[in-house]
Amino acid sequence: MKKISSIIFLLSFYLVGFAQIDMNQFQTIQASGDIPSDFTTTVQEKINNDHSQNKDLTKEEQEEFKKNIYFSVDQLLHSGQCVYGDPVSLYVQSVAKRLLKDKPNLFKELRFYTIKSNVVNAFSTKQGIVFITTGFIAQLSNESQLAFALAHEISHYTEHHVIKKFVWSKTNEDANVESFHGYSKEQEFDADKLASKMCLKAGYSANQLYNVFDVLMFSHLPFNEIKFDKKYFNTSLFFVPENEFTTKTYPIKMDDDWDDKSSSHPNIRKRKEEIRPLLSKHFGEGKAFLGSKDKFEEVRMYARFESVRLNILNNNMSRALYQIFLLKRKYPNNYTLARWEAHVWLGLLKAKKNNIWSKVTVAARKFEGESATLYKYIKDLNKDAVVAQALRTIEDELTKYPDSKELKLIKQKAMKTIASISNWSWTKYANKTFEEAITEQQKKLAKYNEKQHDILDKNDHVLTKYERIKGVGAEEKTTSFAKIDSSNYYYYGISDLMNDEAFLAQFKKYQDEYKAREEAKEKKGKDDNLVAMNIQKILVVDPFIEYNYKSKLDIDKLNKIGGELSTNITTAISKRNIDIQMVNRSSLVSGGTKSFNFHNTLISLLQEFATIKGEFSIVPVDYELIQDIVKETNTDKLLLSYVSYDKYGGSYKAVYLFLLYPFAVPSQLMVSTAANKTVTSAFVLFDMSQGKVQATRTNEYSKAGSKWMLRSELYNLLNTKIIAP
Amino acid sequence: MKKLGFILIIALLSFNSLSQDTYFGKNLTVSIGGVLRPAFIYQHAVLKEGFDFLDKDFNKMKVAPFSYGFMASLTYNISGRHGIGVDVAFNTDRLQLDSKIQKSNQYKKDFGGSNVPKHSNVYSLQSIKAQTMCIIPKYVWSIYSSLPVGLVQSVGIGFNLTTAKGSTTRFRTSGINYDMEGNVIDDYRYYQYDLSGVKVMGVLLDYSVKLNFPISRFMALYIEGSLRIQLPNMPFITNYDESNTDLATDIKLSMMMNRGTYLWDLRAGVSFFLF
């Protein structure tokens, strides 16, 4: 028994160590393990620790280089998109290990992080960090291609290309952009060659290495090219006639010889030509996979799922829907895909309502390949169709997963969105399905024909051509069955809801609520229904700061301003007896990976709001993660602050005032000079449980006294009255 | 990150928030401070007015280069961008008119063919000490919603009351005397007049730009620049002796002219944010 239990114990470790993510529970790729020092060390500390010297640069230039490089990498590390220790990063690391099996010291120097982005890219930094995007992983066909990209980036690092490029730009200050790009292209060719050698040595397939350029060339396309199923939307209640989909084909553009004069990278054809002599000697040699193929496919699947999430986050709803279609082929009953599909339709619905249809759909000039069938179908949908299809999808998913809080919330928001469309009514929507309507029509037609026969029988009279033209006997035909038009299929798509009294009553309630809210807004704060927000605790994300006084980057100043700003925010909030939890760099040191993931999720939420312009109430794509944060931190309020320090505001104002009141120049000049440095601040208070913007404050003021203005802005923000629930 | 912040702000700018807009939600502001009026811009213009100079060598009209005073204002903010208020300012001016001036130095022939002055009252005022009180109801607005702090503009229409203080010396002809040929002989006599209580009232237009720098939740320092235009030819209010009507009128005119020289003023002080 003892033996068995120890085996089970060991086995459980094994399972944990190699556990796959349940794709039904997939949220997003998250950081895992101990937080690396790259994320916790400040920029200044990194600069101080870097004792590298370059004899081609002056002391000031070296300082400038280090500042810029460390600062920009730091921005990226904390952009909310970068993760470490996740399955993708770990896999990338394992491939790099195979690649560098002869150079263990070099491998130890390098760190591999994943960037959650749909841009197909990989890059390395002077510090030895290799970043690779999920968009790139999602597009790959095999491990060799990944190995090539990694080897390419590692070559940039070992050849010190970043600093060489900086030295070049300093020593050739008069050079034009094209010659700078020319230099950059030489570096790319070098890196390609070194990468090929490195990969061939490790035993990767030369053919697959060569094919990596195809990945780059078609990176703008979805990760697979499958004919869209025209019956995809059809259910027992919903029917889309096939002729609604275009039969036109949209060829994929294959231009590998674009004008690369203004690009830092050579075009694909040149890169291929440059590398071909080296690789062609080894065609047919090597393996596409040195590691496990399954592992590669698993990691790629994470990246593909992530790609859908990112498309929803960035409001690319058509693209997300095509990707969901692709993934559903493998995972037909996946909860993650189901809720994401509901998100997509909610997004489409909101876009229709807010008139930002072109932002969520794909432009016609970008129609390429099989995905174009769906893109065109979505592009041509009208408001009534979107309403029907959104409700249909959400309702169907909710039937499948009746306990999903997220889907319930999505349904609620969808109904509220429709309720906020002015003068919306359901009169056009039928209470029977398309099929039922057709059957009914056929019955009526049969009855009509019967009647016609009766007439013929009785009167022995056949309608003449002229009687037919005049419409004798056609009255009944037009009223009873000529109405069905297959292009209006969507009016028959939500017959179950149209028969559902509870649904209609709830909708009416939302419509009344919306009207009441609009009235309250007009009264602006003078309504008895408005109540103060009752806030006990607030999560505060590190403020976004822009400092535009000097043209050069001043990290000390930025840190100082950031510190002051945090103090002001903390003081202003705590004066109102509200608890604060900061999510910033110092919380990363104490809170580690958990805190880091919190930060990333919150940044994604903000990003989602930023993309959906004019929408203040959403269901975040990371709904469950956000609910976890709410539970963990015991608050659902989130504060975002953005402060920009600008020196041009004053003079701009002087000109503006001068134009308006030229006779009062002396006083204008005096005041404008005093107000020369301006500060713009913006505060946004989110309600994370409801996915709502609760209050915002945006203002601009003079730098002098800005400390108190910031506090006042926060005071007013927290004093905002909300409509009584 | 920066970009995200910026985009977010743009995205959420149109959010119709029901928050209070004024500084710490306060609506009533009391400001007190000093007023400094440099008076040199329109000095030249004054000389063109309806006075001629008897003594062409002494034709400088001096006006005190600065006038000092204090002011108080009360503002009520209707919203974060709009408010109403009233300014009350007291200024001690020294209207110096050191030149000899006469109402008119033009002569006319009388029935006997002699030269007769059109007006007989030639006089000189040494100086007038005066105190001016302005009361100006104002409409106040701000480009950004942050009243009463930040850059605040206002327009107002109000009145000012200038009261002469102390005494002044004047000399005037005792009457019209003729020489043997029938020409006018100047015969000056000096008189000391007490001008206390001479009052002139006028309507003025005001445009101000004010900048409040908050130094605490309840207090701010401010500087303000203000443009004031005196509306001329308004009826006088006076308690001056009827028998000296001419002189009083002239003094008032002088006072009015002098007030007009103060086109713009500077102010600085402290604002208190009350309720």
pLDDT 10s digits, A344-403: 999 999 999 988 899 899 999 889 999 999 999 999 999 999 999 999 999 999 999 999
Residues 18-77 of A with CB under 8 A from B: 75
Facing B15 at nearest CB: one of A524, A525, A696: A696
> Measured between alpha carbons, how far is A339 from B244 in angstroms, rounded to an integer?
96
Best interface-test mutation with A: which of B12, B216, B271 has the largest number of A CBs within 10 A?
B12
Q: Which residue has the higher pLDDT, A417 or A646?
A: A417
Q: Closest chain B residue to A670 measured between Cα atoms?
A: B225
Q: Does this model's pTM top 0.95?
A: no
- In this complex, do B211 and A613 lie within 8 Å of one another by their Cβ atoms? no
Reduce the secondary structure of A445-462 to three states and give it as a string. Answer: HHHHHHHHHHHHHHHCCC
Lowest mean pLDDT among A280-289, B102-111, B254-263: B102-111
Within a 10 A sphere around the Cβ of A685, how many other Cβ atoms? Answer: 23
Lowest mean pLDDT among A119-128, A316-325, A649-658: A649-658
> Which CA distances in Å does B21 have to A73, A74, B222?
39, 36, 20
Query: From the list B16, B24, B210, which residue is nearest A521 (CB)?
Result: B16
Angle at A261 between CA A255 and CA A265, to 5 degrees: 70
Rg (CA), chain B: 26
Cross-chain Cβ contact B12/A693 below 8 Å: yes
Instruction: Kindly state the average pLDDT of the residues B210-227.
Output: 87
pLDDT at A209 over 90: no
The reply to whether A546 touches chain B by the CB within 8 Å rule is yes
Q: How big is chain B, counted in residues?
A: 275
Residues 6+ apart with CB under 8 A from A282: A200, A206
Which carries the bigger pLDDT value, residue B172 or residue A615? A615
pLDDT at A573 over 70: yes
Q: Are B270 and B29 in contact (CB under 8 A)?
A: no
pLDDT at B241: 45
Nearest to B144 among A78, A544, A699 (CB): A699
CA separation for the pair A656, A77 (Å, rounded): 41
What pLDDT band is residue A706 in, cutting at 50, 70 and 90?
confident
CA-CA distance, B80 to B261, in Å (whole number)? Answer: 35
DSSP A21: P
Ranked by mean pLDDT, the top range of A506-515, B44-53, B105-114 is A506-515
Hey, is the C-beta of A693 within 8 angstroms of any chain B C-beta?
yes
Q: Alpha-carbon distance A143 to A147, whole Å?
A: 6
Chain A hits for B40, CB-CB cut-off 8 Å, are none
Q: How far is CA A488 from CA A238, A385, A432, A484, in A?
A: 12, 8, 13, 8
- Structural tokens at position A529: 């229904």
Subunit contact A704:B213, Cβ cutoff 8 A = yes
Q: What residues contact residue B150 under an 8 Å CB cut-off, 6+ apart?
A: A675, A700, A701, A702, A709, B142, B144, B211, B212
Q: What is the rounded (10 degree) CA torsion for A334, A340, A344, A349?
A: 100
Handedness of CA B9, B13, B19, B20 (dihedral sign): positive
β partners of residue B107? B117
* Mean pLDDT rounded to a whole number for chain B: 69
Which of these, A687, A679, A681, lies nearest to A722 by C-alpha position?
A: A687
Listed by number, the residues of chain A in 627-646 with a beta carbon closer than 8 Å to a beta carbon of chain B are 640, 642, 644
pLDDT at B107 over 70: no
Tokens of B91: 């200024």
CB interface of A with B, residues 101-140, below 8 Å: none
pLDDT in the model for residue A69: 87
Contact A709 B150 (CB under 8 A): yes
What lies within 8 Å, CB to CB, of B197 at 6+ separation is B163, B164, B239, B240
As a 3-state breakdown, chain B gives helix, strand, coil percent values, each rounded to 5, of 15, 50, 35
Among the partner-chain residues B9, B10, B151, the one whose CB lies closest to the CB of A675 is: B151
Considering only CB atoms, which chain B residues are within 8 Å of A616?
A: 12, 15
Rg of chain A (C-alpha set): 31
Residue A697's pLDDT is 83
**Contact at 8 Å (CB) between B249 and B213?**
no
Instruction: List, for residues B41-75, the tens digit of each pLDDT value.
Output: 444 433 333 333 333 333 444 555 677 899 999 99
Does B7 sit within 8 Å of A642, measured CB to CB?
no
Which tokens is A660 given? 């308006």
Q: pLDDT tens digit string along A453-477?
A: 665 555 555 566 665 555 555 544 4
Q: Which of A614, A569, A698 is nearest to B80 (CA)?
A: A698
A300 close to A140: Cβ distance less than 8 angstroms? yes
Residues of chain A neighbouring B18 (CB-CB closer than 8 A): 520-521, 524-525, 530, 695, 720-722
Rounded CA separation A158/A175 (Å): 26
Question: Which amino acid is located at A620 in the chain?
Answer: P
Is residue B70 a contact partner of residue B32, using CB atoms and an 8 Å limit? Answer: yes
Q: pLDDT tens for residues B84-93?
A: 999 999 887 7
Q: What is the pLDDT of residue A259?
A: 75
**Could you report the predicted ipTM of this complex, rounded to two decimals?**
0.70
Portion of chain A with pLDDT greater than 70, in percent = 85
A642 contacts B9? CB cut-off 8 A: yes
Q: What's residue A508's pLDDT?
A: 93
Chain A residues 417-446 with a CB less than 8 Å from chain B: none
Mean pLDDT of A247-260: 80
Residue A3 has pLDDT above 50, yes or no: no
Q: Is the distance from CB of B213 to CB of B220 less than 8 angstroms?
A: yes
Size of interface A-B (CB pairs under 8 A): 169
Contact A705 B212 (CB under 8 A): yes
A663 at B interface, C-beta within 8 A = yes
Please tell me which of the candidates A606, A607, A701 has its beta carbon nearest to residue B149: A701
Q: Which tokens go with A406? A: 């997220």
